[in-house]
C-alpha cells in the first residue's frame, strides 16, 4: 500500500459531456471502477491534443508502466490492491466474466452502430462532438477513423454471408442488443448493483456501456428508447453518477495545465469553427434548390452545435 | 438470418413434426475440419441428442458451400436448412422442443451470458490456435477476424491464459452439479461440451491447452457424463454413411 500512494496514477481518456465524466465507453468503465475501488486516478483528457490520433485510450500510466484496455487496466488496479470485487464469491466472479462477455458480444455492436454508423446520429452528434474535441487538422479525420473502425468491426464479427451489407446486419444487431438490455434488467431486478449493495467491476462495465446511450442527445434513438423503458437500468446509471461523480467530474482538465492550454484551445476552436463553416457552406451549395435536394429535413447549424458541445 | 426470415422459418417449423431423416452436415474430418467447426458441430449434435431428436451425421467436403449461411454445421430437416446452434435452438423450439423452458428470467440471462463467454473465449481461442498451429491451413479470414476482435496482438501464452480463466469460470459455475442448471442439461451444457471435448480430444502440436483444461476435474467429469449419457448407446447402432461422433480417443 505504501508505494501505491507515492506515485500517482494517470489515466488518458476522452473528456466528458452530457453530464458524464467521459463520453467514451471504455474510459467510463475505468473511471467508474476507480471510483468504486477507491483508486485515486488523475484523469487526463486527450481532447484537443494530438493524442486523439496517436493514442489508444483509455491508457493508464503508473510507475513507468503503461496499460491499455479496460480489462487489463482493471486487472492492474486489482493488483495494486484497488479491488472492488474483493467480496465476491468464486461463482460471482465467474458470473462477472460471463455477463461482460454477453455485453461485449450482444450490446456493443449496436452501440457502435448507434453512435458511429447511424447517419443521423453520426452527422448530428458524434462527428461534431469528436471533431470539435480534436485539434485542427485532426478534426477532419479523427471521427471518420473511429467510424470506419466501428463499421468494419461490426461487419467482421456480425456480418456473415450472405449478410455482408450493414443494412442487413442492422436488424439483427439491434434486436440482439434489445434482448441483452432486457436480460441485464432482469438480472439487476430491484437491487442497487449487480452483486448486492456495493458496485463491482461488472457494474463498471455495464455503466460504461449504457451511460452514453442513456445520456446522449441522439436524434435517431431506437435503442435509447428501448433503454428508457427499462427503468431499473436508468436508475442504476443515475445512482452511480449521483453517488460517485457529482463532486466535480474527473473529465475536466487539471488546473495546472489549464492556463497553458487555454489559448491554444481557443485558437483551435476558432479554426474548427472556420473549417466547419466552410464545410457547411459547401453542403449548402450542394443542397441548393438548383441541385436535387438529398435531405428535406433542416440540419442544425454547425455553429450552434459548437456552442452546445464545447465546455465553458 | 434476418428477422423476417427467422419469423418465417419459425412458422413453417411449427407446422411439421421432427422427421426421421433429419441430417446434420459437417466438413470432412481429419485435415479439412477446423477445430472450431468440429466443436460447433459436436455442440449441435449434443443438443439434438439431449432433446431426443434423431439426426444422421454426414461429412461432406463442401459442407460450407452447401450451407445457406456459409457456416457449419447445418441441419436439413424436412425441406428446411438451418445453420449454427442459435438458430437451430430456435428452430427446435418452434417445433415444441426446448431445454431451457423451465428456467426463469434471471437463469435464462445467466445461461445466455455463459454461452457468450464460451463463444468469446473458447471459439476465438480455437480459431487463434488453429491459426498459429503450423500443421493446419491458416485462413486469411481468421486473421481478419482476430484483428477485428483485438486478438491480433495477443501472444499464444496470453490465449492459453484466457482459456484457462474461461474454464475456471465455467468450473466454478458448474460446481458439483451434474449440469449447469442442476438436474437437466440445457443448450449451455451442449455448447460447453462441444468445445471442451473437442479441445481435449484433438491432437494439436502443442498439448498445453488440453493440459490446462484437465486441471478442472469437474469439467472433465461433466464431459464424460455427457458422452456416456448421450453418445455411447447410439454409436453402437453404427449407421452406415454417417460418421462416428468420436473422432479420436474418447474420454472414458
- Judge if A203 and A274 occupy the same domain: no
B145 touches chain A (CB under 8 A): yes
Domain check: are B118 and B91 in the same one?
no
Directed axis angle between helix A166-188 and helix A90-102, to 10°? 150
Query: CA A224, CA A209: separation in Å to the nearest integer?
Result: 12
Residues A246, A133, single domain; the answer is yes
Residue B243 lies in a domain: no
Tell me the C-alpha distance between A128 and A17, whole Å: 13
For residues A183 and A232, the answer to whether their CB atoms sit within 8 Å is no
A97 touches chain B (CB under 8 A): yes
Tens digit of pLDDT for each residue in B48-89?
A: 999 999 889 888 888 878 887 778 889 998 888 888 898 899
Q: Does B243 touch chain A (CB under 8 A)?
A: no
Give the nearest partner residue to A91 out of B112, B116, B172, using CB atoms.
B172
B250 in a domain, yes or no?
no
pLDDT of residue B219: 93
Q: Which of A214, A233, A253 is the last residue before a domain boundary?
A: A253
Which of B95, B119, B150 is the endpoint of a domain? B95
Q: Which of B152, B189, B167, B156 is nearest to B121 (CA)?
A: B167
Least Cα distance to A84 among A244, A250, A246 occurs for A244
CB pairs under 8 A between A and B: 82
- The SS3 of residue B146 is helix
The separation between the first and the last C-alpha atoms of chain B, rounded to the nearest angstrom, is: 38
Band (pLDDT 50/70/90 cuts) for residue A254 is very low
Output the pLDDT for position B41: 92
Q: Are residues A157 and B109, on separate chains, in Cβ contact within 8 Å?
A: no
- B196 and B169 share a domain? yes
Query: In this structure, are B137 and B76 located in the same domain?
Result: no
pLDDT of res. B140: 66
Residue A68: predicted pLDDT: 86
pLDDT value, residue B16: 80
Residue-level pLDDT at A184? 94
d(CA A175, CA A110): 9
Do A119 and A240 fall into the same domain?
yes
The predicted structure's pLDDT at residue A2: 45
Percent of chain A surpassing pLDDT 90: 34
Residue from B103, B114, B116, B192 whose CB has the most chain A CBs within 10 Å, to mutate: B116
Contact B113 A162 (CB under 8 A): no
Min Cα separation B72/chain A (Å): 12
- The crossing angle, in degrees rounded to 10, of helices B217-226 and B156-174 is 70
CA end-to-end distance (rounded Å), chain A: 38
Per-residue pLDDT band for A247 (boundaries 50, 70, 90) equals: low
> What range does the domain containing B25 cover?
3-95
Query: pLDDT higher for B151 or A64?
Result: A64
Backbone angles phi, psi at B112, to 5 degrees: -65, -40
> What would the mean pLDDT of A22-26 be, rounded to a whole number?
90
Q: Chain A, 103-162: which have a CB under 8 Å from a chain B CB?
A: 104-106, 152-153, 156-157, 160-162
In B101-130, the residues whose Cβ lies within 8 Å of chain A are 105-106, 108-110, 112-114, 116-117, 119-121
Which residues of chain B have a CB within 8 Å of the CB of A93? 169, 172
Lowest mean pLDDT among A90-104, A134-148, A159-173, B187-201: A159-173
At A265-304, the pLDDT tens digits run: 666 666 666 666 666 666 666 666 655 444 444 444 444 4
Same domain for A175 and A282?
A: no
Q: How far is B7 from chain A (nearest CA, A)?
A: 12
Please indicate whether residue A277 or residue A190 has the higher confidence score (pLDDT).
A190
Average pLDDT over residues A6-23: 86
Chain B residues closer than 8 Å to A69 by CB = 150
Mean pLDDT of A14-25: 89
- CB atoms B70 and A160 under 8 Å: yes
B59 falls within a domain: yes
CATH, residue B30: 3.40.30.10
Report how many domains make up chain A. 2
Q: Around A170, how many Cα atoms within 13 Å sit in the side-chain half-sphere?
A: 12
Same domain, B88 and B115: no
- Residues B122, B225, single domain; the answer is yes
Domain containing residue A238: CATH number: 1.20.1050.130
- CATH number of the domain encompassing residue B176: 1.20.1050.10
- Is A102 an interface residue toward B (CB < 8 Å)? yes
Residue A165 sits in the same domain as residue A178: yes
Per residue in B182-238, pLDDT tens?
A: 889 999 999 999 999 988 888 766 678 888 888 999 999 999 999 999 987 655 444
Q: Residue A157 and residue B148: Cβ atoms within 8 Å?
A: yes
Q: Which residue of A has its CA nearest to B105?
A: A186
Reading the block at residue A67, the C-alpha cell is 496499460
A279-301 burial, b at 16+ Cβ within 10 Å, e below that, comes to eeeeeeeeeeeeeeeeeeeeeee
Query: For residue B229, how far is the Cα from the chain centroid?
Result: 17
Contact B173 A102 (CB under 8 A): no
Chain A CB contacts of B69 under 8 Å are 160-162
For residue B71, list chain A residues with Cβ-Cβ distance below 8 A.
Answer: 160
Query: What's the pLDDT at B237?
Result: 44
Q: Is residue A227 located within the same domain as residue A273? A: no
Q: Kindly state whether residues A180 and A305 are assigned to the same domain.
A: no
Task: Verify that A78 and A221 share a domain, yes or no.
Answer: yes
Task: Please report the pLDDT score of residue B174 as a whole number.
Answer: 93
The Cα–Cα gap between B224 and B215 comes to 15
- A151 and A135 belong to one structural domain: yes
Do A101 and B120 count as a contact with CB atoms less than 8 A apart? Answer: yes
A294 and A215 co-located in one domain = no
Residues spanned by the domain of A289: 257-309
d(CA B36, CA B123): 6
What does the block give as the cell for B129?
Answer: 490456435
Residues of chain B with C-beta less than 8 angstroms from the C-beta of A91 = 172-173, 175
In this prediction the ipTM stands at 0.79
Q: Whole-prediction pTM value?
A: 0.77
Say how far apart CA A297 and CA A281 lie, in whole Å.
17
**Domain total for chain B?**
2
Ordered alpha helix ranges (H), chain B: 3-15, 35-51, 63-66, 85-94, 105-118, 124-132, 140-148, 156-174, 187-201, 208-214, 217-226, 232-235
Whether B251 is in a domain gets the answer: no
A5 has a pLDDT exceeding 60: no
**A158 and A141 share one domain:** yes
Q: Is residue A238 domain-shared with residue A261, that is, in the same domain?
A: no
The closest CB to that of B173, out of A91, A162, A172, belongs to A91
Q: What is the pLDDT of residue A255?
A: 44
Q: Are residues B113 and B222 in the same domain?
A: yes
Amino acid at each position: 500500500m505504501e508505494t501505491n500512494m507515492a506515485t500517482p496514477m494517470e489515466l488518458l481518456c476522452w473528456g466528458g459531456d452530457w453530464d458524464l465524466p467521459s463520453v467514451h465507453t471504455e474510459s467510463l468503465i475505468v473511471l467508474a471502477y476507480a471510483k468504486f475501488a477507491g483508486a485515486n486516478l488523475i484523469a487526463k483528457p486527450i481532447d484537443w491534443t494530438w493524442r486523439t490520433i496517436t493514442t489508444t485510450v483509455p491508457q493508464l500510466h503508473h510507475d513507468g508502466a503503461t496499460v491499455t484496455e479496460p480489462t487489463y487496466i482493471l486487472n492492474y488496479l486489482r493488483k495494486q490492491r484497488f479491488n472492488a470485487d474483493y467480496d465476491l464469491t468464486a461463482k460471482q466472479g465467474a458470473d462477472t466474466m460471463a455477463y461482460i462477455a454477453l455485453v461485449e458480444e450482444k450490446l456493443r455492436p449496436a452501440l457502435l452502430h448507434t453512435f458511429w454508423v447511424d447517419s443521423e446520429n453520426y452527422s448530428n452528434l458524434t462527428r461534431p462532438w469528436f471533431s470539435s474535441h480534436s485539434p485542427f487538422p485532426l478534426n477532419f479525420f479523427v471521427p471518420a477513423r473511429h467510424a470506419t473502425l466501428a463499421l468494419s468491426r461490426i461487419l467482421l464479427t456480425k456480418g456473415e454471408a450472405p449478410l455482408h451489407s450493414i443494412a442487413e446486419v442492422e436488424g439483427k444487431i439491434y434486436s440482439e442488443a434489445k434482448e441483452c438490455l432486457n436480460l441485464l434488467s432482469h438480472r439487476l431486478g430491484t437491487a442497487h448493483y449487480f452483486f448486492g449493495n456495493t458496485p463491482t467491476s461488472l457494474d463498471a462495465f455495464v455503466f460504461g456501456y449504457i451511460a452514453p446511450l442513456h445520456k446522449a442527445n441522439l436524434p435517431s434513438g431506437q435503442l435509447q428508447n428501448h433503454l428508457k423503458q427499462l427503468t431499473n437500468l436508468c436508475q442504476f446509471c443515475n445512482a452511480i453518477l449521483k453517488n460517485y461523480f457529482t463532486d466535480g467530474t474527473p473529465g475536466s482538465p487539471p488546473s495546472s495545465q489549464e492556463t497553458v492550454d487555454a489559448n491554444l484551445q481557443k485558437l483551435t476552436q476558432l479554426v474548427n469553427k472556420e473549417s466547419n463553416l466552410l464545410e457547411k457552406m459547401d453542403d449548402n451549395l450542394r443542397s441548393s434548390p438548383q441541385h436535387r435536394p438529398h435531405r428535406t429535413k433542416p440540419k442544425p447549424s454547425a455553429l450552434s452545435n459548437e456552442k452546445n458541445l464545447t465546455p465553458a | 438470418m434476418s428477422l423476417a426470415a427467422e419469423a418465417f422459418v419459425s412458422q413453417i417449423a411449427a407446422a411439421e413434426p421432427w422427421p426421421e431423416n433429419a441430417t446434420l452436415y459437417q466438413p470432412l474430418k481429419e485435415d479439412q475440419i477446423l477445430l472450431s467447426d468440429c466443436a460447433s458441430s459436436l455442440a449441435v449434435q449434443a443438443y439434438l441428442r439431449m432433446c431426443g431428436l434423431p439426426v444422421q451425421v454426414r461429412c461432406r467436403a463442401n459442407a460450407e458451400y452447401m450451407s445457406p449461411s456459409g457456416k457449419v454445421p447445418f441441419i436439413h430437416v424436412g425441406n428446411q436448412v438451418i445453420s449454427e446452434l442459435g438458430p437451430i435452438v430456435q428452430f427446435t423450439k418452434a417445433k415444441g422442443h426446448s431445454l431451457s423452458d423451465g428456467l426463469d428470467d434471471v437463469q435464462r440471462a445467466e445461461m445466455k451470458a455463459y454461452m457468450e463467454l464460451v463463444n468469446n473465449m473458447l471459439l476465438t481461442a480455437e480459431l487463434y490456435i488453429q491459426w498459429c498451429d503450423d500443421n493446419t491451413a491458416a485462413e486469411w479470414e481468421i486473421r481478419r477476424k482476430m484483428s477485428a476482435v483485438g486478438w491480433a496482438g495477443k501472444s499464444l501464452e496470453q490465449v492459453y491464459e484466457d482459456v484457462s480463466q474461461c474454464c475456471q469460470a465455467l468450473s466454478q459455475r458448474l460446481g458439483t452439479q451434474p449440469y449447469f442448471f442442476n438436474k437437466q442439461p440445457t443448450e449451455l451444457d451442449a455448447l460447453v461440451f462441444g468445445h471442451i471435448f473437442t479441445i481435449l480430444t484433438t491432437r494439436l502440436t502443442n498439448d498445453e491447452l488440453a493440459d490446462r483444461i484437465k486441471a478442472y476435474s469437474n469439467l472433465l467429469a461433466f464431459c464424460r457424463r455427457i458422452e456416456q449419457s448421450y453418445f455411447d448407446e447410439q454409436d453402437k447402432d453404427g449407421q452406415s454413411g454417417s460418421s462416428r461422433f468420436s473422432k479420436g480417443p474418447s474420454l472414458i
